[in-house]
Amino acid sequence: MCGIVGYIGERQARPILLNCLARLEYRGYDSCGIAVAGGGLQVHKDAVRVQALREQLPRRIEGKLGIGHTRWATHGAPSRANAHPHGDCTGRIAVVHNGVIHNFQQLRQQLVKEGHKFSSETDTEVIPHLIEKYFDGDLGEAVAKALNDIEGSYAVAVLMDGVPELIAARKESPLIIGVGDGENFIASDVPAVLDYTSRVIYLEDDDIAVITGEGVQVKRNGEAVARKPHQVTWSVEDAQKGGYEHFMLKEIHEQPRVIRDTIRAYLTADETMSDWGVFQKGDSGDVLMLACGTSYHAALVGKYILEGLFKIPVRAELASEFGYLGQSSARSQAIVITQSGETADALKAIKRLRSEGCPVIVITNVVGSSATRVADRVVYTMAGPEISVAATKSYTAQLMALYWMALPSAKIDLRRRDGLVMELRQLPGKVQRILDDEEKIAQHAAQIAKYNSVFFIGRGLNYPVALEGALKLKEISYIHAEGYAAGELKHGPFALLSGEAPVVALVTPDATYDAMLTNIKEVKARGSPVIALVEEGDDVVAEVADSVISVPKVDPLFSPVVNTVVLQLLAYYAARERGCPIDFPRNLAKSVTVE
């Protein structure tokens, strides 16, 4: 989704802005631009990638104060006119904005009546005109007044030629300040500034910051507030490819480390999650899990884990649909899963739950993200920065958090529980074995890449894994893919089965095994080639499927981890075979900050 950057200091702003924008590319965008102030305001923008903008910029753009933006179109198509920064009538003000302004039509009509001229279809353009209207010598004040007129969400960075400061403000859209020595930065996300500083201020809703090279002053409702810089532990290398061809492949390969780090961190935590007593409420307790996309698939796996281990009712719902469902206040606990902590639908769901008196645990990967500020409790996953749009290691880290929330107090035989905890510790090695053998998975992927439609089927814990396998494949390879509960194929999708539609079947040696074998035979009888994921040593499935991929033996409870890693690699290599832009798939954004 849109990305904001800003710089003020002693260095030339142009190369810094372009570098910071390039670091935000992973969020997804369709156009970009920069504005640099220094003896006049210079604005350059277009519906192009950052590299193309860099190449088309005039040689002389000088100034030590600037802002930049990557835009993901909401109001108005991707075009030069709609790209940010946007300006006012005087040509002195530049604004970049993330979010949505609900009342922009009324504001625009009013401003037009007052003589302002607009040049884009965006909602953003009302902001510089409002600032122009209110400016009376104090830029911070004018921005505060302008934002006061706005209904909706925003993260904004503002500059005005001749005023040696940057203004940053946020409401329901992420914005951070990178604190340097004699220079400061603004960005939507930490990776953008890691080349320059690891000290970061997380702005909060309704904060307005006046930033100079020497300092940062934050105000809220006109009153000064203290916002301390945090030391970020991610390194630049964490946010770079480290020799891999794509971020996605690097992130898939980081999963053994992620699992290890997660277990270590949860083991050494002062307070264990089981101390929270979330799943010890017996029959009266019920749990609602909410999330979007891949995080929703983790929530669905969580539902199976928690219902299995605690025998309590657990519902998993799409956060984007939650607003249309009935009262939630009867629930005793909600868990919202969001890698970024910025997904608009997830944030809206948390606010509703809180307003209805339901305590919310947020599982997220991003320290200081919006979701962490509105949650009752936060469980951090230890995935490190995930750059590729396709979620991989963050999903595995979410599963680890769910296992760890459940296992210590699981209502199961003690010996079984200890055995499961032991197995959990062996998972990194088992995932590593899958990665060591990725060449074989790449060969299967090359076959899949030839088709235009693929089905993924599973049962029980592996039904959500089938959904995730299909999501991964469709989002990065653009092959149409459907995930199904294996028992549902005969209720409609059978009509689509043929030699042109292969089926990937997830077979686990648990209560679902026999039914999965039957489903594979049904699929074969209708002409679809079947690739089955089976536990190593299984030689029964190979007799009915066309080909098998062996996965290391794990307790079925952990089969979602190993099976998903295989499906991630399958999707990755299929997309690579088709020459797709794996890390930045078309039309998608890493962090979806609009409803």
Q: Which residues bind ligand AGP (CB under 6 A)?
A: 292-295, 338-340, 343, 346, 389-391, 475, 591-592
In this structure, the number of other CB atoms found within 10 A of the CB of residue 257 comes to: 16
- In order of 69, 123, 544, 559, the CA distances from 186 in angstroms are 11, 21, 57, 42
Query: Measured from the CB of residue 436, what is the shortest distance to ligand AGP in angstroms?
Result: 24
- Closest separation in Å from C-beta 250 to ligand AGP: 15
Minimum distance from residue 249 beta carbon to ligand AGP (Å): 14
CA quadruple 395, 400, 403, 405: dihedral positive or negative? negative
Q: Which is nearer to ligand AGP, 82 or 294 (CB)?
A: 294
Burial of 158 (0-12, 13-18, 19+ CB in 10 A): buried
Contact 462, 380 (CB under 8 A): no
The set of residues, in sequence order, having a beta carbon less than 8 Å from that of 162 and lying 6+ positions away, is 37, 92
Interatomic CA distance for residues 93 and 152, integer angstroms? 21
Closer CB to ligand AGP, residue 339 or residue 550? 339
Candidates 2, 20, 32, 292; catalytic one: 2
Which C-beta is closer to ligand AGP: that of 293 or that of 458?
Answer: 293
Burial of 310 (0-12, 13-18, 19+ CB in 10 A): buried
Residue 572 Cβ, how far from ligand AGP at the closest point, in Å?
Answer: 12
Q: In terms of CB distance, is 296 or 403 closer to ligand AGP?
A: 296
Rounded to the nearest whole angstrom, what is the least distance from the CB of residue 294 to ligand AGP in the complex?
3
CA-based nearest residue to 46, from 78, 91, 1: 78
Nearer to ligand AGP, 116 or 297 (CB): 297
Query: Smallest distance, Å, CB 353 to ligand AGP?
Result: 15
CA distance 111 to 117: 8
Q: How far apart are CA 578 and CA 265, in angstroms?
A: 39
**Token code pair at residue 429:** 């090695």
30 versus 538: smaller Cβ distance to ligand AGP: 30
Q: Minimal distance in Å, beta carbon 435 to ligand AGP?
A: 19
To the query of whether residue 553 is one of the catalytic residues in this protein, the response is no
The C-alpha atoms of residue 325 and residue 303 are separated, in whole angstroms, by 18
Q: Rounded to 5, what percent of the chain is helix, strand, coil?
A: 40, 20, 40
Residue 547 CB, nearest distance to ligand AGP (Å)?
A: 26
CA angle 467, 352, 301 (to 5 degrees): 25
Output 482 or 538, the one with its CB closest to ligand AGP.
482
Long-range contacts of 214-218 (CB under 8 A, 24+ apart): 214/182, 215/184, 216/177, 216/179, 216/184
Q: What does the radius of gyration of the chain's CA atoms come to, in whole angstroms?
A: 25
| CB closer to ligand AGP out of 431 and 592 | 592
Nearer to ligand AGP, 82 or 338 (CB): 338
**For residues 330 and 502, what is the distance between their CA atoms, to the nearest angstrom?**
44
Report the distance separating Cα 176 and Cα 200, nearest Å.
7
Q: Out of 45, 430, 472, 590, which one is annotated catalytic?
A: 590
Q: Is 185 helix (H, G, I), strand (E, B) or coil?
A: strand
| Smallest separation, CB 293 to ligand AGP (Å) | 2
CA angle, corner 160, sides to 155 and 162, nearest 5?
A: 150
Please say which residue, 387 or 545, places its beta carbon nearer to ligand AGP.
387
545 secondary structure, DSSP code: S
Q: Which residues on neighbouring strands pair with residue 43, listed in sequence order? A: 35
Q: Which helix or strand (DSSP H or E) is residue 225 part of? A: strand 223-225
**Token representation of residue 482:** 């459907």
- Would residue 2 show up in a list of annotated catalytic residues for this protein? yes
Please state the closest distance from residue 328 (CB atom) to ligand AGP, in A: 19
CB closest to ligand AGP, residue no: 293
Catalytic positions, please? 2, 590
